[in-house]
Amino acid sequence: MSNNTESNIPVKFTENSNNEWINWIEEAIAKDYFKYYELNHFSNFQEIGFGGFGKVYRVNWKSSPNYLALKSFFNFNNVTIKEI
């Protein structure tokens, strides 16, 4: 996550506006509201939980000894986009 304290991004979407949700997520990444990392930057995947949207893994980032939680999604659909 970014250290940017501005977190109010205006959201004006309809139920069927998947592309607008995706654009909103991409804009949030571009403005550093969210951080985007390539999957190959992580190692030592260990599944630690799962739920209705996906699985959670304990991972290392690059060669760091620290552990992070990484969430993966089962389906990237309108419901998942809203969860993000």
| Residues 8-53: tens digit of each pLDDT | 444 444 554 667 878 888 898 899 888 778 889 999 999 999 988 8
Residues tagged in the binding site annotation = 71
Least Cα distance to 28 among 44, 48, 4, 55 occurs for: 4
Contact 61, 44 (CB under 8 A): no
Domain count, the chain: 2
pLDDT of residue 17: 60
pLDDT, tens only, 41-76: 999 999 999 988 889 999 998 888 899 999 888 877
Q: Are residues 31 and 2 part of one domain?
A: yes
Q: Are residues 16 and 32 part of one domain?
A: yes
pLDDT of residue 34: 81
- Asked if residue 4 has pLDDT above 60, the reply is no
Residues tagged in the binding site annotation for ATP = 71
Rounded-to-integer distance, Cα 32 and Cα 26, Å: 10
Rounded-to-integer distance, Cα 52 and Cα 71, Å: 12
Q: What is the span of the domain harbouring residue 70?
A: 39-76
Contact 29, 35 (CB under 8 A): yes
